[in-house]
Structure 1
Amino acid sequence: MHRRRFVLAALGAAGLTLGMPAASAGPFHIVYPRIRPGGDVHAAFALAVLDLAMKTAQAAYTAQQTDIVMERGRALAELANGNNTINLHWTSMEASSERGLNVVRIPIHRGLIGYRIFIIKKDRQRDFDRVERFSDLKAFTCCQGLGWIDTDILRTTGLDVQTSTYESLFEMTQSGRVDYFPRGAVEAFAELEARRHLDPDLVVENRLMLKYRSDFIFYVATGHAALAETIERGLVLAYRDGTYMKLFNSHPYIQNALVLAKPALRKTFQLDNPYLSEADRRIPDEYWML
């Protein structure tokens, strides 16, 4: 009965009934930023979730990348400007990023972006084996990307965080300029596999994890409310009929990461994310891996 009550509430919040999906405006033409080199493995699951949402909502659509790779800040600015360079981006939830945008408030990866495991040099594992308390991590320096909300989250806890561009973060870790590079549990192993020829000395640290409430969500451009409503309706219905969880439980991007990361076996430090909006904090637990 609890699950049915959740479904009814979610459907009601989205303006839906328990009948067939409402007819959608369309067809929609979705444009998103070009995936950075090597990032296709990450994009595959987000695009699969998008496809599931649109098909479940019975909405015709096409999707294409722009010719330009955009960092998070630029992509969000393009969405807010409403100039139709792009009309969709998936990135970390953050209260200040929502202004003027249409937000689909359903985590794409059930929160696994906020399960942060560490990329380190393989000869540094002994140093991390000595970490027993969160305060022990304050003796180490980590790195995160410019403009990432994760940078701010980690700094608010007192951790020493250096920033740079995405490619440089691996180089900084490989060269020993920083001690560790926190990545989402679904990101770390896939990235190292794709970069094995570039960074052969990098591995995933084997026992620690930081955990805070965060994930990628779909942000939709100003003036494209119908697209956001359609994605949200499709995702709610996909949870209702079990097809989202079927995708989550079978997609190699998710399942390979869970097998390799073993999050339940890691010593985990739970952190607050002060940058969530109040609406983010009200996202039902059923949408998260707890």
Structure 2
Amino acid sequence: MAVLLGLLCVHSLPAWAVHFDIVYPRVTEFDDPRAAFAKAVLDLAMREVHAQYTIRPSKDVMERGRALHELAEGNTINLHWSSMSRADEARLHAIPIPIHRGLIGYRVLVIRRDRQSEFDEIDTLEQLRAMTGGQGIGWVDTDILRRAGLHIDTAPYDALFRMVQAGHIDYYPRGVIEAYTELEARHETNPDLVVEHHLLLAYRSDFVFYTNKSNKRLAEAIEQGLTKAYADGSYMRLFDSHPYIQAALSRAELDHRTVIWLDNPDLSAEDRRISARYWMELRSNDGRSGPRE
């Protein structure tokens, strides 16, 4: 009887009553500046539910497709933050709270410095279709951009910066919070690259946390932690003060850009129902707000 009671007690422990050894995919050969805010949000969520954890990257660099396969198989990693995707949500457990308030779907363009004047003349999607962009292998964004009629080549994440530098592609769309830190990290190797200052591609998208479907304890801890962080205001305090977010928003000057709105056909029904409270509102010159459709 004592053994049975002990087993029942362990089984009924809340998700955060265990120690989590979190392993996430290493996605670049560089130190990845994009991970800073996602890890800060994860830490906030875990502290909200008093969960004990350690966190480390995988040994191998993984493109998105491999990382999500490894996660689904329960092999080398047990957590990933990546774009919303109907297909990925079907095979994984997605925590339906955007990590960056939709800023991954607000895309500035990485270009060569000497080509800004060409982009100054572009105001419409039709005009941008004359250019060639680049996106990573297996990225959800590739399909979004191609379905909008844009010419998009694919290559490994790090290689795309070199392709813009060499003139093999014209632009590389990056989330507004990603682009500046990425270029700073690569200034010595790609000194001619800048963030284009005229255009913004906008669609409903962001990174969410994914776990293996069987890892219910970790998923529950993160989701309950994020929900509490929004409820008590600690998430917004982090968002409004974190340099990764605020420095990028200050430099991007979103209010002064020409916005090209795109649909995201890869959203699940649940993604489309995510509350407006979790998204940062963007208003374009034509008065349209979103993207929340």
The two structures have a TM-score, normalised by structure 2, of 0.89
- 1:202 corresponds to: 193
The one-letter amino acid paired with 1:45 is F
Q: Is 1:275 matched with 2:266?
A: yes
Segments of 5+ residues of structure 2 without an aligned counterpart are 1-13, 282-293
- 1:36 corresponds to: 28
SS at match of 2:91: coil
Cα shift at 1:68: 1.4
Segments of 5+ residues of structure 1 without an aligned counterpart are 1-21
Per-residue deviation, residues 200-253 of structure 1 (Å, max 9, x unmatched)? 111111110000011111000132111101100000100010100011011110
The one-letter amino acid paired with 1:181 is Y
- 1:98 corresponds to: 89
**Is residue 27–residue 63 contact of structure 2 (8 Å, CA) maintained in 1?**
no
2:52 to 51, 60, 85: 60
**Is residue 119–residue 183 contact of structure 1 (8 Å, CA) maintained in 2?**
yes
| Aligned mates of 2:39, 2:149 — CA distance in 1 | 35
- 1:147 corresponds to: 138
- 1:79 corresponds to: 71
The one-letter amino acid paired with 2:51 is A
**Is residue 211–residue 269 contact of structure 1 (8 Å, CA) maintained in 2?**
yes
- 2:39 corresponds to: 47
The one-letter amino acid paired with 2:85 is E
Distance 1:183 1:63, change over 3 A: same
User: What are the within-5 Å matches in structure 2 for residues 121-136 of structure 1?
Assistant: 121-136=112-127
1:25 to 7, 12, 17: 17
The two structures have a TM-score, normalised by structure 1, of 0.90
**Is residue 15–residue 220 contact of structure 2 (8 Å, CA) maintained in 1?**
no
Cα shift at 1:190: 0.7
**Is residue 137–residue 155 contact of structure 2 (8 Å, CA) maintained in 1?**
yes
Per-residue deviation, residues 58-83 of structure 1 (Å, max 9, x unmatched)? 21222222211211111111111123
**Is residue 35–residue 43 contact of structure 1 (8 Å, CA) maintained in 2?**
no
The one-letter amino acid paired with 1:285 is A
**Is residue 102–residue 205 contact of structure 2 (8 Å, CA) maintained in 1?**
yes
Per-residue deviation, residues 71-98 of structure 1 (Å, max 9, x unmatched)? 1111111111123x21100011100011
- 1:17 corresponds to: none
Per-residue deviation, residues 182-213 of structure 1 (Å, max 9, x unmatched)? 10000111111111111111111111000001
SS at match of 2:271: helix
**Is residue 123–residue 199 contact of structure 2 (8 Å, CA) maintained in 1?**
no
Q: How many residues align?
A: 268
Distance 1:23 1:134, change over 3 A: closer
Distance 1:225 1:23, change over 3 A: closer
| Aligned mates of 1:35, 1:182 — CA distance in 2 | 17
Quote the sequence identity (%): 56
Cα shift at 1:23: 7.0
- 1:69 corresponds to: 61
Backbone CA RMSD of aligned residues: 1.2
- 2:173 corresponds to: 182
- 1:266 corresponds to: 257
1:242 to 199, 222, 233: 233
